[in-house]
Structure 1
Amino acid sequence: MQNPRESIPAPGVEIETLAEFDAAVAAGPLTGHRVQSVDLTARSAALLATDTSGAVFLGCPMEPGPAEKVRADGAFVFPPVPGLPFDPYRGQLYSPDALYEGLAGGGYDATPDARAYRWFRRTRSDGDAFASMLRALHDDAVSDALDELLVGQRVVGVMGGHATPRGSAPYAAAARLGRTLARSGLTVATGGGPGAMEAANLGAYAAPHPDAMLDKACELLGAVPSFTPSVTDWALAAFAVRERWPAGGGSVSIPTWFYGHEPPNPFAGHIAKYFANALREDGLLARSTAGVIFLPGAAGTVQEIFDSTTPNYYGSRGDPSPMVLVGRDHWTRELPAWPLLRSLAAGRPMESRIALVDTVEEAPGALARLSAA
C-alpha cells in the first residue's frame, strides 16, 4: 500500500510572479513546482502546452479549459477563495499601499486592513474549521515570505509601547534609534503598530535622507499624535510624510489582526501581518538575530522581554541573542523586569548578553558591545 506521503510531489521552484512563471515554463515541465497566488488567466496557452504533473497551484486564477487540463495532468490545485478581504495563499509580504488601499477615498474602514480585521472578529470564535484553515494558510504563507525576505540580513528588533504619542520626546528618540540602527547596516524589525514601533520604522525610513528630514517629519506627524479618535487622519499624516520624502529606507514590521484596533504603521516597507498573535510574537523575536532593544512599555513589552528570555535561558536557538533594556527607572522601579532578568541570567551564557541603559542614545553602543561579547 502506498504511503500517502509518497504521493506528495517533492518541492521544486517556488513561483510567485508572472515573470517567474514564464521563465519556469521556458525551462521545461512544471513538475514539483509551487505556483503561489499568480493570476494565470492570461497564460492559458502556456498551461495547455506545458506538463504540469505534480505541480502545486495555490490560489491561481485560471480559465476553465486550462484549469481542467492542469487537474487532468495530476497537479494539485487549491482554488482562490471568493469573497475574502485577504489572499490566504499570498506569496509576498504586504506593503503599506496594499494594506491601506482606498484610504484617501473611503477612509480607513474601506481599506483591506480594516476589512480583514472585521472578518477576523466575525470568524475567530465561531468554530468554523474552514475559517481557521484559511487563517492558518495565510499565516504560513506570510512566514514563508518573511523568511525569504530576511535571508542574509542582520535583524534587530525594537520593542516598545504603542501609546508613545507622535510629537513627544520619547517618540523622537525612538525614531533616531531606528535611523542609527539602519545606518549601521542592520534591518530594523518592530511589532508594526503605532507609538514607539512606528517611530523606529520611521527612523529606518529616514536613514537615506539628511538628518533634518527626520526632525521635520516628527514635527509634521505631531499634528496627529494618536490613531484615536481617527485612524484615517493618523494614517493620512504618515502617507503625507512618505509622499514628501519618497525613496525611504526599508524596514520590517510584524503586526497582528489580533490587536486589530491598533492599525499598522505605514513606515515599514515590508509588513508581515498575522492573524495568530502567538505565531507573530515568537516569529518576531526569533528573527531578531542581531538582538532586541526594549524601550519603555507596559504589559506587551514585558511579555516580549520574557518571550525573548526563555530561548536565551535554555539555549534553544543556539547562542543567546543580545537584549538591551532602555530606561533604568522604568525597568527597575515602575516595572521591575530587570532584576528578574538579571537573576535568571546569572551564571548562564546569556549573562554576558543582557544590558540596562539609561537612554535611547546608549542603546546602539550597548547592542554592539553585547554582540561582541
Structure 2
Amino acid sequence: MPTNSPPPGGPRDSEIETLAEFDLASATGSLAGYRLQAVDLTDRTAALLDLDPAGAVFLGCPMEPAALAHVRAGGAMVFPPVPYLPFDPYRGTLYTPEALYEGLPAGYETTPDARAYEWFQRTRADGDILASMLRSIHDDAVSDALDELLTGERVVGVMGGHAMARGKDAYAGAALLGRTLARSGLTVATGGGPGAMEAANLGAYTAPFGDEVLGEALRIAAKAPLFTPSIGDWASAAFAVRERWPDGGASVGIPTWFYGHEPPNAFASHIAKYFANAVREDGLLARCTAGVIFLPGAAGTVQEIFDNATPNYYESRGVPTPMVLVNREHWTRDLPTWPLLEALAKDRPMAARIALVDSVDEAPAALARLTATASATG
C-alpha cells in the first residue's frame, strides 16, 4: 500500500518543484506521497522507469512517452501539461519580473504578462469550464508558492493608489517608506502594481545599497512617469534601474490580471499574480502579519482598508494586526474612511491597533508603536 507521506531521505516536504528535488527523492526508489509540480522530466526517463510511481501525483510535468506510460500504469495520477497556454497552471514557484516581461524589447504585447491578460479577457466570460478550472488551479498553485516563500517572515503590507506618478514627492515618500521598512527587517508586500505599490517595492529593492542609490533610481525611473501611454517604456525604465543595480533587496508584489490594464511593477523580486481578484485581495491582507500601511488611494484602497478591518473587528482570541492610515486630510475629508474605521473600532481590541498619521515619514514609528502595544497586551 502506498503511504500518504514521502519516505525518509526525500525533500523536506511532499512537493517536488525542481530537478534537484526529484533526484533526491528518486534515490529512495519510490515516489509515494510526492506531488511533482511543473518539473520538466524529459531527461529523467531512465530514473522514472526505475521508480515505483504508486501514490505520486504529477502536475504538468513533461516526460517521454515511455516514462508517461510507466507512471500511469504504476498507479500515479497524472495531470498533463496544457498546450498553447501563455502561463503554467501548475507552476511551483512565484513569478519574477524577468519572467513576466520576457520579450519586452519586441513590445509589451508579446510578453507572457500581456498574453495571459489577453487569454483571461477572452475566456473569462465564455463559460468554458476548462478555462475556469485552469484559472483556479493556477491561483491555488500561486497561493501555495506564496505560503512557502513567506513562512516565518514578518510581512508588512503597503497599500495605495496606482495613479501616483514617478517623479512626484508622494512617490519618493512611498519609496523611502519601503526602504525604511525593509531595513528594519520586515518583508514588504504590496498589490504589485504601479504607483504607490511600485514605489514601496522600489524602496525595498534599494535597501541594501547606499542611501544615494534611491535618489538616482528615482531619477531614472521618472523618465517614464506613468504606465500610460506606453507600458513598454514604463517597464523599460524600471529594468534600467535593475540593470544598473542588480541583486537588490527582496519584496513581494501580489497583482491580478483582473486589473490587467495595470501592469505589474518590476521592483518586486517575487510576484504572486492571480486571475481571481477576490482570492488575491484576501491572500494579500491575510499574509501581512506585521501590519498594513495605507497610503492615499481610491476605491481599491478603501476596499482593502475594510477587508483588513473586518477580521480585526471580529478578532476575539488573537491580536488584531496593526493598521496605519497615512494623510489625515485624505482619509478624513477627501475619502472620510477614518471616522468609520474609528467608529467600528470603538470598544473593540482593534481600537489599540489603528492609527492615523499626517505624513508618510510618521508611518514606520506609528507601526512600531502599535506593534509594541500589541506585544505588551498579547
Query: How high is the TM-score relative to the length of structure 2?
Result: 0.95
Matched, 1:66 2:67: yes
Question: Cα distance 1:8–1:103, how it changes in 2: closer, same or farther (>3 A)?
Answer: farther
- Is the Cα–Cα contact under 8 Å of residues 87 and 116 in structure 2 kept in the other structure? yes
- Cα deviation, residue 295, structure 1: 0.2
- Is the Cα–Cα contact under 8 Å of residues 156 and 291 in structure 2 kept in the other structure? yes
Aligned to 1:10: 4
Match for 1:350: what amino acid? M
The C-alpha deviation readout for 1:317-355, integer Å capped at 9, x for no partner, is 932000000000000010000000000001000000000
Of 247-256 and 25-34, more deviation after overlay is shown by 25-34
Identity score, percent: 73
Question: Cα distance 1:77–1:253, how it changes in 2: closer, same or farther (>3 A)?
Answer: same
Equivalent residues in 2 for 1:354-365, closer than 5 Å: 354-365=354-365
The C-alpha deviation readout for 1:272-311, integer Å capped at 9, x for no partner, is 0000000000000000000000000111100000000000
Aligned to 2:301: 301
Aligned to 2:166: 166
Aligned to 1:44: 45
Aligned to 2:10: none
Aligned to 2:9: none
Flag structure 2 segments of 5+ consecutive residues without an equivalent: 7-13, 374-378
- Is the Cα–Cα contact under 8 Å of residues 9 and 55 in structure 1 kept in the other structure? no
Of 229-238 and 310-319, more deviation after overlay is shown by 310-319
- Cα deviation, residue 28, structure 1: 2.9
Aligned to 1:255: 255
- Is the Cα–Cα contact under 8 Å of residues 311 and 317 in structure 1 kept in the other structure? no
Equivalent residues in 2 for 1:175-190, closer than 5 Å: 175-190=175-190
Aligned to 2:85: 84
Aligned to 1:57: 58
Equivalent residues in 2 for 1:187-206, closer than 5 Å: 187-206=187-206
The C-alpha deviation readout for 1:48-68, integer Å capped at 9, x for no partner, is 001111100000001001100
Match for 2:41: what amino acid? L
Question: Cα distance 1:307–1:9, how it changes in 2: closer, same or farther (>3 A)?
Answer: farther
Question: Cα distance 1:258–1:11, how it changes in 2: closer, same or farther (>3 A)?
Answer: farther
Find the aligned partners of 2:43 and 2:302 in 1 and give their Cα distance: 51
- Cα deviation, residue 254, structure 1: 0.2
Aligned to 2:11: none
Equivalent residues in 2 for 1:320-331, closer than 5 Å: 320-331=320-331
Find the aligned partners of 1:289 and 1:27 in 2 and give their Cα distance: 38
Query: How high is the TM-score relative to the length of structure 1?
Result: 0.97
Aligned to 1:147: 147
Find the aligned partners of 1:71 and 1:316 in 2 and give their Cα distance: 49
Aligned to 1:4: none
- Is the Cα–Cα contact under 8 Å of residues 175 and 201 in structure 1 kept in the other structure? yes
Match for 2:147: what amino acid? D
Find the aligned partners of 2:347 and 2:189 in 1 and give their Cα distance: 30
- Cα deviation, residue 247, structure 1: 1.2
- Cα deviation, residue 11, structure 1: 4.9
SS in 2 for 1:157: strand
- Is the Cα–Cα contact under 8 Å of residues 326 and 359 in structure 1 kept in the other structure? yes
Aligned length: 366
Aligned to 1:207: 207
Aligned to 2:244: 244
Match for 1:45: what amino acid? A
The C-alpha deviation readout for 1:90-119, integer Å capped at 9, x for no partner, is 000000000000002x11000000000000
Match for 2:215: what amino acid? D
Aligned to 1:27: 28
SS in 2 for 1:27: coil
Aligned to 2:95: 94
The C-alpha deviation readout for 1:11-30, integer Å capped at 9, x for no partner, is 54210000000000013311
Equivalent residues in 2 for 1:222-237, closer than 5 Å: 222-237=222-237
Matched, 1:353 2:353: yes
Find the aligned partners of 1:317 and 1:183 in 2 and give their Cα distance: 31
Find the aligned partners of 1:193 and 1:316 in 2 and give their Cα distance: 33
Find the aligned partners of 1:240 and 1:207 in 2 and give their Cα distance: 17
Equivalent residues in 2 for 1:104-115, closer than 5 Å: 104=105, 106-115=106-115
Match for 1:53: what amino acid? A
- Cα deviation, residue 31, structure 1: 0.6
The C-alpha deviation readout for 1:227-261, integer Å capped at 9, x for no partner, is 00000000000000000011100000000000000
- Is the Cα–Cα contact under 8 Å of residues 158 and 294 in structure 1 kept in the other structure? yes
Compute the RMSD of aligned alpha carbons: 1.2
Aligned to 2:278: 278
Find the aligned partners of 1:216 and 1:204 in 2 and give their Cα distance: 15
Match for 1:10: what amino acid? N
